[in-house]
Amino acid sequence: MISAYQNAGRPADAIELFKRLLQTSVKPDEATLAIILSACADTGTLSLGEEIEEYITTNGLQLDRQVQTSLIHMFCKCGSIEKARTVFDSISEKKDLAAWSSMINGYAIHGMGNEALSLFHDMQNTEGIVPDSLTYTSILLACSHSGLVEDGLKYFKSMQKDFGLEPRIEHYTCLVDLLGRAGRLDLALETTLDFPEKIQGRMWAPFLSACKKHRNDELGELAARKLLEFSTGSTGNYVLMANLYTSQGKWKEAAETRRLMDDRGLAKEPGWSQVEICDSGDR
């Protein structure tokens, strides 16, 4: 049931059921611990994740690779990057690709690009470990969030050249984001237009964000028009377009964009935050 809640996108319910489990005589196994650590990562419930780590240590449980990787992922998502690295370094046997990728991704999402690239270099020097598409997504994300443009371009090219990995849409989207954040809008636009329209759809949003950041109204309006063609069901993209028009003082266009949202039955998703109060996650 805990697994069912987590798979259904209801991590808070999975956590509540796990807490009830701990009040019984039933001991959670490694598979259950891995699932609940993922739930902690999804909800940002760091305190419970730390309790689970303590439970594992206190009960002398032998961690399998799935639990070790889940711990790394949980600590990274909850912002405890140093604890994640401690778990990573504590893996005495040969680390698998999942552990390497989780730690690299942790550095990436926290803007620690140099650390991510350093760890990736260590991984490449580890016998028997070959990066996959997910690893490269994390590497490109790390370069994008840290402004490492030349490194990002180098690693993007190495995917196919060195490992025979065909870049996917997420890699191209990261590439556009990388170039856009660095202000290289012309190259980002060229990259986007090089692909068929069915692939371009997901690439216009990061390009529009970059145009807004660098105050390029002309290219921003082009991106907005393109998004309008592709984004019939993406609320976030409509909001992004409306905000662009508002920042330019184009109230009529902003109102028209929001009218289109209403006509298509789209509503802006409410924001939410989570604060831990007495070990419980409250929204």
Residue 207's nearest CA partner among 169, 175, 247 is 175
The two structure tokens encoding residue 33: 């611990």
**Domains of the chain: which residue ranges?**
1-93, 168-283
Q: Cα dist. 84→31, 178, 194 in Å?
A: 19, 26, 39
pLDDT at position 121 is 96
The radius of gyration computed from the CA coordinates of the chain, to the nearest angstrom, equals 22
Q: Do 155 and 136 meet the contact criterion of CB atoms below 8 Å apart? A: yes
> 1-93 — its CATH code?
1.25.40.10
Report the C-alpha gap between 152 and 193 in whole angstroms: 19
**How many residues make up the chain in this entry?**
283
Counting as low any pLDDT under 70, the low residues of the chain are 231-234, 266-283
pLDDT at position 257 is 80
Ranges of H-type helices in the chain:
2-7, 11-22, 30-43, 46-58, 65-77, 81-90, 97-109, 113-124, 133-146, 149-163, 169-181, 185-193, 197-200, 204-213, 217-230, 235-247, 251-263
pLDDT at position 241 is 78
Residue 18's nearest CA partner among 79, 274, 45 is 45
Q: Who contacts 265 (Cβ-Cβ below 8 Å, separation ≥6)?
A: none
pLDDT at position 13 is 94
pLDDT at position 280 is 47
Dihedral, CA of residue 140, residue 40, residue 29 and residue 86, to nearest 10: 60
pLDDT at position 233 is 55
Residues facing residue 275 across a β-bridge? 282
Q: Cα dist. 229→158, 177, 204, 265 in Å?
A: 33, 20, 10, 16
Query: Which CATH superfamily includes the segment(s) 168-283?
Result: Tetratricopeptide repeat domain (1.25.40.10)
| Residue 8: how many other CB atoms lie within 10 Å | 10
Report the C-alpha gap between 108 and 130 in whole angstroms: 19
1-93 against 168-283: fold identical: yes
pLDDT at position 232 is 52
Q: Cα dist. 205→83, 183, 238, 251 in Å?
A: 34, 15, 10, 21
pLDDT at position 234 is 66
Q: Who contacts 49 (Cβ-Cβ below 8 Å, separation ≥6)?
A: 37, 40, 41, 71, 74, 75, 78
pTM of the model: 0.81
pLDDT at position 272 is 42
Q: Who contacts 116 (Cβ-Cβ below 8 Å, separation ≥6)?
A: 104, 107, 108, 138, 139, 142, 146
pLDDT at position 142 is 96
